[in-house]
Amino acid sequence: MFRRRYPPVASMPGTYILSPDSLKPKIHAMSYSAESLKEFDVKDLSLIPALVSEFHVTWLDVQGLGDRTVLDKLAEIFSLHKLAMADVVNVPQRPKVESYDGYLFLITRMAEKRPDTDQDVEQVSMFLGKNFVLTFQENYGDVLDPLRERIRNEKGPIRHEGAGYLAYSILDAVIDGFFPVLEELGEDLATLEQDALDAPTPQIMQESNQARKTLLILRRVIWPQRDAINSLLRDPHPLISDLVRVYLRDCHDHCLQIADVIESYREIVGSITNTYLSAVSNRTNEIMKVLTIMASIFIPLTFIAGIYGMNFEYMPELHFRYAYPILLLVMAVAGIGMVLYFRRQGWIGSDKDKE
């Protein structure tokens, strides 16, 4: 459930632990101004300072956190605070925005598929400086390829605006990535709800618990995300221009929409549980009815048959010529009487209404 990488208790602040199966970092650079674009995989970290100072905006995207030397070198180049670097590596952290001297540090989390665990909501850590954006991701691959394509094709204002706009664009893409995840989840909930009514198997309980946990994870991501963006909107920061602020307002709006949907889904999961429990009760009810009807009809009849199976010497009825057919008739009447009684009680016949 909860599984955050954390250093040993009481170790030096800013300590981070590399997971043994962390991937080797791949660093991708996109440096651009309105007119020019330079894109390449960074092999030699010492080239970076020149690159950053030469271009209007440089986006360094680090995928894989498995090499302490690389991380330390980057921290040194951009003078990143060791607490921030620890938050980059000790994933997952709560989404947040922190202002440091000369740069903003943003943590956001990205859902590419419906999360089963906190791990599926991959953390994207972002440093936003005057003319650079530095992103860190734990795994290779992300939802940002269309954004890279936009930079290459000079679509939209992205090549004309500064690093703040790029940071916004990344944030926006990460947040909008929750919509398809929620859509898929919503369809599964609709199916689950129908099944809870039609075919209440214990699996429904399991799946609704799973959905509840997925929603918990998404919620734990989106609420702090909203707060983080809100703090950017409220407190003007030199790295966030007024233009970017308008766009961030849109981002904030999307967070609210996602939060709304999550809360609605949580209520629906609750009503699925209720529906399932009531369906089980109903089943028990139906089973009891069958048992009661069968027992109520045949146990008394068996008793009557039992009486005439007794071996008393002096039982005058036994010798009466029409006793047997008369008794059969009496039994039939009693049986039919019971059936009619149960039908009047709505226990028979009403079965169809209820299905």
Segment 47-76, which members bind a copy of itself (CB under 8 A)? none
Strand 57-63 to 132-137 pairing: parallel
CB of 312 to a copy of itself, least distance (A): 4
- Looking at the Cβ atoms of 20 and 314, the one nearer to a copy of itself is 314
Q: Residues 282 to 321: which contact a copy of itself by CB under 8 A?
A: 282-285, 287-292, 294-296, 298-303, 305-315, 317-319, 321
- Looking at the Cβ atoms of 52 and 347, the one nearer to a copy of itself is 347
The upper half-sphere exposure of residue 215, i.e. CA atoms within 13 Å in the direction of its Cβ, equals: 25
- Looking at the Cβ atoms of 54 and 260, the one nearer to a copy of itself is 260
- Looking at the Cβ atoms of 3 and 38, the one nearer to a copy of itself is 3
Helices (H), 199-322: 202-234, 242-307, 316-319
Our finding on whether 164 is near a copy of itself (CB under 8 A) is no
Our finding on whether 144 is near a copy of itself (CB under 8 A) is yes
CB of 34 to a copy of itself, least distance (A): 16
Q: Which helix (H) or strand (E) holds 324?
A: helix 323-344
Q: Residues 8 to 27: which contact a copy of itself by CB under 8 A?
A: 8-13
C-alpha 299/C-alpha 305 separation (Å) is 10
Binding mask 194-233 for a copy of itself (x = CB under 8 A): ---x---xx--xx--x--xx--x---x---x---------
123 contacts 50 by C-beta, under 8 angstroms: no
- Looking at the Cβ atoms of 52 and 123, the one nearer to a copy of itself is 123
The span of 40-48, 69-77, 233-241, 267-275 binding a copy of itself (CB under 8 A) equals 267-275
Our finding on whether 192 is near a copy of itself (CB under 8 A) is no
Residue partners of 154: CB distance under 8 A and separation at least 6: 34
Q: Which helix (H) or strand (E) holds 353?
A: helix 350-354
Our finding on whether 173 is near a copy of itself (CB under 8 A) is yes
Q: Residues 78 to 137: which contact a copy of itself by CB under 8 A?
A: 81, 83, 87, 93-94, 96, 98
Our finding on whether 273 is near a copy of itself (CB under 8 A) is yes
C-alpha 201/C-alpha 204 separation (Å) is 6
- Side chain identity, residue 188: D
How far is C-alpha 285 from the geometric centre of its chain's CA atoms?
Answer: 35
Angle formed by the axes of helices 145-153 and 163-176, nearest 10° = 140
CA distances from 246 to 162, 164, 208 (A): 15, 12, 38
CB of 73 to a copy of itself, least distance (A): 20
What's the residue count for the chain? 355
CB of 342 to a copy of itself, least distance (A): 9
CB of 319 to a copy of itself, least distance (A): 5
Options 18, 34, 47, 190; binder of a copy of itself; rule CB under 8 A = 190
Q: Which helix (H) or strand (E) holds 149?
A: helix 145-153
Our finding on whether 348 is near a copy of itself (CB under 8 A) is no
Options 324, 330, 337, 343; binder of a copy of itself; rule CB under 8 A = 324
The span of 33-41, 53-61, 126-134, 347-355 binding a copy of itself (CB under 8 A) equals 347-355
Options 34, 246, 329, 340; binder of a copy of itself; rule CB under 8 A = 246
C-alpha 145/C-alpha 190 separation (Å) is 31
CB of 53 to a copy of itself, least distance (A): 27
State both tokens at 347.
């226990």
Residue partners of 337: CB distance under 8 A and separation at least 6: none
Our finding on whether 265 is near a copy of itself (CB under 8 A) is yes
C-alpha 120/C-alpha 335 separation (Å) is 63
Burial of 288 (0-12, 13-18, 19+ CB in 10 A): exposed
